[in-house]
Structure 1
Amino acid sequence: IDNMPIESIKATVFYKQRWLILLVDSSTACPVGPAILAGDQLVWPTPRILAPLVFPANITADRVTMGIDGKFLDDDTLEKRGYELYVNISVIAISIPVGAEGGLSKSHVLDNTYGIVYSIHLLLEHQWLDHLQELTQHRVYRLASTPFIPRIPRVIDTDISDPKEHFNITVGPFLPDVELVSIRVANRNLSVDDLKRHGYNIYPAVFPNGTADFIIELVVGAPFVTQQYLHDDIRRYILNMTLIFNVLPDDELFTLPVIRTVDVHDVVLPVMVGFCGDDSLYLLMQHGNLDHYWLPCVADQLLSFELAQMYGYMTLENGTHFSLAVPLSSPGVVHEEISLHELQARIDFSLKDNQTLEVYSSFSVRCTFFIPHEEVLVCFQNGTVAVSVQSTITLPDIDVRKLVLRDPTCGPREQDEMKALFVFDINSCGTVGRFMKDFIVYENEISYPKETIPVDFPVITRDPDYRCENHMETYVTTFHPVITKHVKNPSSLKRFEVQTIASNNSGGLQGLIYIHCNVAVCDLTNPGVTCGRRCAPSKRGGRTINHSAQELQSTVSSGPINILTVTPSPGRKETSDEARWKLSWVVLLAVGAAVLASVLLLAVMYAVKSRHH
């Protein structure tokens, strides 16, 4: 009727007497349409006139009343509870506020969404008089229910203090049939009691209408609260948790995420200072209150215990300060500038976020080191190489101004009497690159043009092209017999011994040296020729050796000879004569072998020449 469904039963009751048959119409009808949710009102409409029972033209008067749970309610009660009864020419409707007294609200979960269903037992009575003045009463009992109504709980932080020190989270409202069973934080499911032991204060706040909010209170720095440094002295606290609820008695679970952030000016920043030592760069850092969220790095490498040991870094931690010492020669040191006597270097220290590895803070220590006597080799990041050379790397000292690279046009950029500095690009001056596993090694050479040393300038040198003459005439040549089974006719051979000059060094001559001797073989039967030395004055007042035309001459070279230092016994100092004689025996061993062969060769040549004459 009027688009409102009803169910009706057509019935006639026959009463039969001896001379009379009585027909009684017992038809009935019931509205079966559902209640309708209109905003926050539950509305149940029914037809005013149920046609199977009565025709509208036959009604002379009617009255409509309502109630709940089988009991009629007076007008005051209806008004107090917000119930409404609407009657027009064709429709009777009852309107009940959702959640009003007299009904029942029940929690439910649909697709992890919390909501309610509101139900109420309605009573509707309609009385009317027909044209025969007969009274008809029609009562309908109906359970009216809402569909599922989502009730998304609100999540608010009621703490508005500044500076903020607490989270005060309020979640709700919920019906009394909802309980908070656990909370998921940091990928862990913890019960309410577990979180209370971590300093969380969790409790329900019940309202007069029976609903309740759940309150969660905690300090901003409580466990499971994530902290993030923003900038300056500002730290962000992030509360990220998932609340897990249960609806009783049906055990319907649902979850509710809670994410709240607050920015607080409470960061104590670390303070870093740098200073320089004789051969190291130093950094001292005073700790802040957020250091455990940062990773220390040197030259963009994580400063671990293993890295410090491998690179020779020295670290010290006392709880309030951290110190770092980096030797100048260690990896991670960046060389910036170099001159003949100074080297500027730096280390780059940084703190990175331990999650994102984003650089929070960086600090560089720059030092200038005085290097008057050191030889350095520096490879700059721009492909430039700098290397210095001392004049004292050889005996005698070299003239560093004459040093060149592989490309003889590449000389020192700076030099003084003692030192030269070369600065060149890896693609210039004859530099050659070669691959070694994961590296490219660039090579060049520093060389000194070979020169003949004047005979009146005696030197000892590692260079076999240099010559040294012995003008000490107080020592005579001595021959020794050859006792060995490795040569034939050893009796016809002699070993040659000569006393050489000693070093002016207090520790004696050391290191690698070369020995060069002039050897002459003469005929002792010739009365006009002797093998004795005849010396003629030289330009510098020294002596030179002169041989007769009948002598065969040759130059004998031996070396290098590595002269080692012998430590004298405790309490006894070695005399200069002992040092000189010790050197003589070393030279004897070296020269003897070379001269032995040379004398033999000269003797053969002399014999052949004598036969020829």
Structure 2
Amino acid sequence: MVAVLAHIFNVVSPQKYLQVVTQQRNFKALPQNFNPRTGLITECLGSVMRLTVDKSLAFGSQIEFDAINGSQVLPLTTPLAVKCGFSVESDPWGKTRVLVSLLNCFAKNEDDSEFDLNMRVRVRGINKAEQDVFEVEKTCTYNQWAPREILCDRNYMEVSVNRLPGEITALKRQPRMAKEQTFDQWTDTVSEAITSRYNIWRMVFFTPKQKAMVLEDALNTGYGITTTRSRLVLRSGYDMPETYVENVNGVPMKVIRVTTYFKKQWSVTMLDTVAACPTGGVVFTDELITWNFPLVTPLMSSTENKIIGMVMGIDGKQIDSAQMADRGYSLTTTDTFIVMTLPVGGQDGYYKSHCVNDQYHIRYTIEPMLELFWSEGGFDATRYKVLFPIKTPFMPRPPQSVDYTAVDQKVFDVLLGTFLYDVELVNITFSTGVLTVVEANARGFNVQEQRFQNGSKTFRLQVSFSDPVVVTNQVDLVVTVYTLPLIYSFLILPEYTPFSYSTSFKATLQDVILPTVSGACDKEKFHIMISFGNMGKNFNIMLGTRDLTPERSVDYDVKENGTHMILAVPFLAVDVAFELMYPSSLRARLDVLLWEPTNKWSLSDFSLACNFPMTMTECFSNGSMSALAVKVQSVSQLVPRQLTLRDPKCKPKFSNDRFAYFSFDANSCGTTRTFYDGVMMYQNEISLGDEPPISQQAIKGVSIPFVPEYRVTVSCFYTVNDTQTIAFFTNPRESDPLPETGFGELQVLLRLALDGSYKDFYVEQDFPVGRLLRKPLFFEVALLQSTDPRIELVLEDCWATLKEDRNSAPRWDLIVDGCVNLVDHYETVFHPVSPDGVQFPSHIKRFEVKMFAFVQDNIVLKNQIVVHCDALLCDVNQTDGLCKKLCPSPIPLKTARKVRRDADHDQFQRAQLSSGKILLSSS
């Protein structure tokens, strides 16, 4: 127990609590009889004396009281206090009040008007072995005793009646109050000693049945019975067995009724004493206390009652009408009740915190006093004083949470209240554990206690969103909900009663910076950069259709730091999708998806498509062809190894799950050839043929009808010195763009032979070549490397110019539309090509011209010529057009042209020609 108390006081120190209670109430100025040295106040209040022990003395200490009877010191126990007229009450703030009846067992009484009261106060600290002792001496004067005085204190009822002979005679006329009967004639000479305590013969208690006791038994039972010079005093606790409850107009009252018999010699005197104290009659609302006191009580033996005086008081002290009005009190009467009203929360009472089922409640306490003075039938009067502590029912006051959070500052700022000053915050349970107030502030939280003048306080707490005690939850792509769950733990002082309160605060903020993806390509790889945003790497990365695993991260050369990640993915990796094929490149796409695995949210969806260098179709000058078929995304069910050319026997030279490679001659595998005005096209087709893929064949007799359509047309267009490839397309994806055209080369060469045997030819280093005027020039136009015997080379036009520019002027036609120029006096001569030494004679054309020079107005323009030709490729079986054109007969030479051919000019001039210059030589 000592350890527990020590722990409690470490949590809430006595100094801290003293600070709390000092601010709880706005105390009025201290009375003049306040002793600042001892902290004790004594006051005489009519028939009672009030001793107040100030909180500054009482706090944190154990207080005990002693009654002093001459040289005898008696500890004031509860039974002794009831029996002898003492009551003790302490409020939660440390102030203790003791009410002492002037007719108590130990007062020194002088003529029932002056009373000396002595007490001793012992104060012992909880952790102190020694104690402080204070002596209290107080003299009170009170000489206004009524024939009957009744006091209802907190723990006892007291009634005193006048026992003098003159009064006894009067009492005979009021037998319910005090009456006398004698066996001898009563005379005024009877001494007061007859009714002294020593002459008490017996006492009869009415419960309401009669129960007789001798004085000694009554005293041993716990009743207080004394006599003074003029009065008989009876005192009883509320729970004594001879008391009973009488309901008066709905108000329960505790009643004690006793007849005391005095006997001396041959006379017997009886005195009736009765006391009745209310134990109920209070009605509560949230704002008002109403105390109903019966207008007629068991104390009244006549219906002819007259209230002479009616006074209200607080804490045993009377207050006047002005004070009542100022404090909102009222005291009125009805036909059946005396009604007192008091506002809940008035300044003369106090609130106190309580815990009920771990819920915070408060209760208001006030001690009003009602003092009545009445007479019955115009004779003897009764003074009646009731000290009636009132406590309201427990009023639930669940704490209210006020959220002052500034979301943009990312700091929870919350207020919890209100509480009375007797509530102390001990610790707070966060999501990560429990912290005392000191620990929370040391950690960086801001925990403050805010006090108000009305006796209440609140607790304010500030916590950053970024602290680990705050629970974060991303509710959608950009919104985060920050939650601060709290359990406040309190103590109610001074009882150190614990209770707790759970609450939670939330803040919603659009503060999520989503991760982003960017990328670029080089000739071999996709280079991807991922920026984490402010989420950290709390997401999965999907490349294509698969999540990026640690094993594949090694393959893709993944590097990362706290904010970014980079990776390099080869364009032929399995996670890359193929979109389109071009003759010399492949269009590939890498899809990158960042997704949150808990809620399956897509955080960023990025696609990067690039063209990577890769030869898809090649057309060779010898007529062979190669083609690479790729499984593109639009035909994802394709099995490449099942592809064929038009001839189903022509299968891929190589295949895997993504590619099929074909290589074939132009005159094989069903390849077709078409001529278009001198342009020749070879064409084949890659498809699935007549056999569906294995995955689509019948399974257990059930045929799956769907077969992916895949058809790739491969075409090569040949022109002189130029080859073009038309790329393929697939159905039914008509929206897919057609790929660009690929390039190849078909070589046709114009060369000059050394002589008419056409066995040796001038090479590039031999030019320019010199020739005498009218000497023959032997030209050959040849299609090189082609192995197709169905092709025939046809000369369409040949002409000579002075310059390398074939479109320059002047110009002299040598061959026109496949025939010699008939207007040329020195006619061009065609030479047949024999099959001796030549594999494909149709691929070669030979002609002879005489060396000449251009003259104008009989002036040689230049001593060189350049010969140009246009060639066509024709089918040997073609029967129309230039390929099979018949030439006309020679016609006479025309001389109308200003620029003419002069074969007699012998001027020599040397020049370098890239196409082969022929110089006119003079020798």
Find the counterpart in structure 1 of residue 366 from structure 2. 120
- Please tell me the residue identity of whatever aligns with 1:197: A
Using the aligned pairs only, state the percent identity.
26
Match of 1:367 in 2: 610
CA contact (8 A) 2:362 2:396 kept: yes
- Structure 2: gaps of 5 or more residues: 1-247, 617-626, 644-650, 656-660, 671-680, 700-707, 709-835, 840-923
Separation in 2, partners of 1:274, 1:396: 34
Question: What is residue 593 of structure 2 aligned with on the other side?
Answer: 350
Counterpart of 1:142 in structure 2 is 388
Aligned counterpart in structure 1 of residue 507 of structure 2, from 240, 253, 262:
262
- Aligned residue in 1 for 2:256: 9
- Matches of residues 508-519 of structure 1 in structure 2 within 5 Å? none
Aligned length: 426
Match of 1:429 among 681, 689, 693: 693
2:522 counterpart letter in structure 1 = G
Report what 1:246 is aligned to: 491
Q: Partners of 1:226 and 1:423 in 2: how far apart?
A: 59
**Which of 565, 568, 571 is matched with 1:322 structurally?**
565
Match of 1:188 in 2: 433
Q: CA deviation at 1:80?
A: 4.0
Give the CA RMSD over aligned residues.
4.4
Counterpart of 2:553, as a letter, is A
Match of 1:47 among 285, 294, 304: 294
Compute the displacement of 1:88 (Å): 1.8
Equivalents in 2 of 1:424, 1:90: separation in Å?
117
Map 1:70-85 to 2 at 5 A. 70-85=316-331
CA positional deviation for 1:71: 2.1
Structure 2 vs 1, CA of residues 396 and 280 (structure 1 numbering), >3 Å: closer, same or farther?
closer
Distance (whole Å) between structure 1 residues aligned to residue 518 and residue 589 of structure 2: 13
Aligned counterpart, 1:557: none
Matching of residue 167 in structure 1 with residue 412 in structure 2: yes
Give structure 1 stretches of 5+ with no counterpart.
405-415, 436-443, 445-538, 543-613
Equivalent residue, structure 2, for 1:601? none
SS at match of 1:27: strand
Match of 1:387 in 2: 640
Q: 1:356 to 1:230 in 2, by over 3 A?
A: closer
Q: Please point out which of 201, 204, 207 is paired with 2:446.
A: 201
Q: Report the more deviating stretch, 203-212 or 289-298.
A: 289-298
Indicate how the Cα distance of structure 1 residues 137 and 188 shifts in structure 2: closer, same or farther if over 3 A, else same: same
Matching residue within 523, 534, 539 for 1:289? 534
TM superposition score normalised by structure 1: 0.58
Separation in structure 2 between the aligned mates of residue 300 and residue 197 of structure 1, nearest angstrom = 51
2:167 counterpart residue number: none
1:366-406 Cα distance to aligned partner (Å, 9 max, x none) = 334454259676485975115388976599954599879xx
String of CA shifts for 1:154-189, please: whole Å, max 9, x gaps.
111235x68444332111111223222222223422
Structure 1 segment 11-30 matched on structure 2, within 5 A: 11-14=258-261, 22-30=269-277
Counterpart AA for 1:5: P
State the secondary structure of the residue aligned to 1:209: coil
Q: Match for 1:40: what amino acid?
A: E
Q: Deviation at 1:284?
A: 2.1
CA contact (8 A) 1:68 1:121 kept: yes
The amino acid across from 1:387 in the alignment is P
CA distance in 2 between counterparts of 1:285 and 1:401 reads: 52
Deviation at 1:72, TM superposition (A): 2.2
Between 1:347-356 and 1:214-223, the stretch displaced more is: 347-356
Task: Provide the rounded CA distance (Å) in 1 between the counterparts of 2:693 and 2:463.
Answer: 70
Residues 76-104 of structure 1 deviation map (CA, whole Å, 9 limit, x = unaligned): 44344444434322123433333433334
Amino acid corresponding to residue 57 of structure 1 in structure 2: T
CA distance in 2, matches of 1:196, 1:274: 48
1:523-534 equivalences under 5 Å are none
Aligned partners of 1:403, 1:386: CA distance in 2, in Å? 21
**Counterpart selection for 2:344 from 83, 98, 101:** 98
Matching of residues 325-340 of structure 1 within 5 Å:
325-336=568-579
Instruction: Report the CA distance shift for 1:270/1:358 in structure 2 as closer, same or farther (over 3 A).
Output: closer
Is 1:31 the counterpart of 2:268? The answer is: no
Provide closer, same or farther for how the CA distance between residues 3 and 428 of structure 1 changes in structure 2, counting only shifts above 3 A: farther
Q: Describe the shift of the 1:376–1:290 C-alpha distance in structure 2 as closer, same or farther (beyond 3 A).
A: same
1:178-230 deviations in Å (ceiling 9; x for gaps): 22222222342233333323321111011123321111123443443344556
Contact 2:580 2:632 in 1 (8 A): no
Shift of the alpha carbon at 1:125? 1.7
Hey, what's the Cα distance between the residues in 1 that align with 2:683 and 2:553? 36
The TM-score with structure 2 as length reference comes to: 0.40
Counterparts in 2 of 1:541 and 1:288: CA distance versus 1, 3 Å: closer
Q: Where in structure 2 are the equivalents of 1:392-541 lying within 5 Å? A: 397-398=663-664, 422=687, 428-431=692-695
Deviates more, 1:374-383 or 1:217-226: 374-383
Relative to 1, partners in 2 of residues 1:351 and 1:541: Cα closer, same or farther, differing over 3 Å? closer
What residue is the counterpart of 1:466 in the other structure? none
TM-aligned CA distance change 1:268 to 1:127, over 3 Å: same
Equivalent residues of 2:250, 2:281 under 8 A apart: no
What secondary structure, in the 3-state scheme, does the structure 2 residue paired with 1:195 have? helix
Instruction: Kindly provide the amino acid, as one letter, of the partner of residue 320 in structure 2.
Output: D
CA distance in 2, matches of 1:304, 1:124: 88
CA distance in 2, matches of 1:422, 1:252: 89
Q: Which amino acid aligns with 1:225?
A: V
Q: Is residue 128–residue 135 contact of structure 1 (8 Å, CA) maintained in 2?
A: yes
8 Å contact kept, 2:251–2:281 = no
Are the structure 2 counterparts of residues 285 and 84 from structure 1 closer, same or farther at C-alpha, using a change threshold of 3 Å?
farther
Q: Distance in 1 between matches of 2:392 and 2:357?
A: 18
1:117 is displaced (CA, Å) by 2.7
**1:429 to 1:387, Cα distance in 2 relative to 1, 3 A:** closer
One-letter code aligned to 1:356 = N
Relative to structure 1, the CA distance from residue 28 to residue 320 in structure 2 (aligned partners, 3 Å threshold; closer, same or farther) is: closer
Give the direction of change, closer, same or farther, for the CA distance of 1:179–1:327 in structure 2 (3 Å limit): farther
Change (3 A) 1:192 1:329: farther
| Distance (whole Å) between structure 1 residues aligned to residue 698 and residue 837 of structure 2 | 51
Compared CA separation, residues 265 and 18, structure 1 to 2 (3 A): same
Contact residue 312 and residue 369 of structure 2 kept, 8 A: yes
Measured in 2, the distance between the counterparts of 1:363 and 1:103 equals: 73
